Amino acid sequence: MVVPIGDYVALAAVIFFIGVFGVIVRRNPLIMLMSIELMLNAGNLLLVAFARLWLQNAGQIFAFIVITVAAAEAAIGLAIIVTTFRPERFVDVDDVRSLHG
């Protein structure tokens, strides 16, 4: 059976906005990182879906690159979280605001 493209787009949109919602609403950096991963994967889903639809493999390859970047980003993000919040027991991104103007 062939899944219509509209379903993919709808699913990706739902996943993406769950991610957006998570980044904006949650204050725990770990959850925020996970939300960002959700958004990236929503993008990946679209890339792969359209690559399949238009029979162009560039999209597939690009999805791999995004996965790689996401992995690197998660590693760096986790490292930052560990160094920033090591002395604290609770983690809250709103406490880290030394860059405020």
Minimum gap (Å) between residue 47 Cβ and other proteins: 18
User: 3-state class of 65 per DSSP?
Assistant: helix
Site membership for other proteins, residue 94 (CB under 8 A):
yes
How many amino acids of this chain bind other proteins (CB under 8 A)?
14
Which residues fall within 8 angstroms of residue 42, CB to CB, at 6 or more apart? 12, 13, 15, 16, 19
Tell me the CA distances in angstroms from 85 to 13, 78, 79, 92, 97, one per residue in order.
32, 10, 10, 9, 13
- Which CB, 86 or 100, lies closer to other proteins? 100
Q: Indicate the residue among 3 and 10 with the shorter CB distance to other proteins.
A: 10
**Using rule CB under 8 A, residue 101 touches other proteins:** yes
* Contacts (CB under 8 A) with other proteins, residues 26-85: 27, 32
Q: Which residues bind other proteins (CB under 8 A)?
A: 20, 23-25, 27, 32, 93-94, 96-101
